[in-house]
Amino acid sequence: MQVNNDILQNNKGNGTEINQLVQRLQKEDNRNLMTFKRFQGIFVGFILVYSFIFIFNPWTDLGLSYRITGVCYVLGFFLFGMIFRKYYREYKAINYSLPVSEMLQKAAERYRLQYRKTWVVIFPLLFIDAGMTITFYQRFTAYAPWKIIGLVQLVYIPTLILGFLIGVLIWYKRQKPLRDAAIKLLDELNN
């Protein structure tokens, strides 16, 4: 999302640059809010399906390893669901009626590329990775375990890296301009 240069110009007395930025922030915040809500619902669906298939399935004689696989998937999906729930609540609590400088500071912080928050997804990713590795190991028992683990990682890790890079690209195109505009307006207000 591009931020028009007139948003960044100082139109003394009428505050249009702030109003336009607030409208853009609200649009992006609402988009993120709906995304978090959708993903939370998707993961609840995954939890129900995988719980039924791998853990509570009464019709087939699943071995212990399949049930462990199901537990790994369900734990991973549960943790992802909790992460999306946390962000959903954060975005739902955004308050645009705060003083302008405080609102702009919070917007700049909210749209800062934060690698620390990325680490929170390590545990759910590890659970899903364990579930996939166990699944593939069960299906391809003729191969050495290290080959199966290597094959799973050879596909899983590049997929995660690609997803991360797509997320950074989305941030750069849609959210960085908002952050930059908020910082610039904040600087203008403070000077």
Distance of alpha carbon 131 from alpha carbon 156, whole angstroms: 12
Q: Which helix (H) or strand (E) holds 47?
A: helix 16-50
Q: Encode pLDDT of 137-191 as tens digits.
A: 888 888 888 999 999 999 999 999 999 999 999 999 999 999 999 999 999 888 7
Chain position carrying tokens 């853009």: 24
Q: Extract the tokens encoding 91.
A: 């975005």
- Whole-model pTM: value is 0.82
Q: Number of folded domains in the chain?
A: 1
Q: What is the pLDDT of residue 4?
A: 33
Sign, CA dihedral 183-184-190-191, equals: positive
Instruction: Evaluate whether 132 touches 109 at the Cβ level (below 8 Å).
Output: no
Q: Exposure of 64 by Cβ count < 10 A (0-12 exposed, 13-18 middle, 19+ buried)?
A: exposed
* pLDDT tens figures, 52-94: 888 777 777 778 888 899 999 999 999 999 999 999 999 999 9
pLDDT score recorded for residue 8: 37
Confidence of residue 15 (pLDDT cuts 50, 70, 90): low
pLDDT of 162 reads 97
139-155 exposure pattern, b = at least 16 Cβ within 10 A, e = fewer = eeeeeeeeebeeebeee
Please state, as a whole number, how many other Cβ atoms lie within 10 Å of the Cβ of residue 121: 16
Confidence check: pLDDT of 6 > 50: no
Average pLDDT for the chain: 87
**What range defines the domain where residue 138 resides?**
5-190
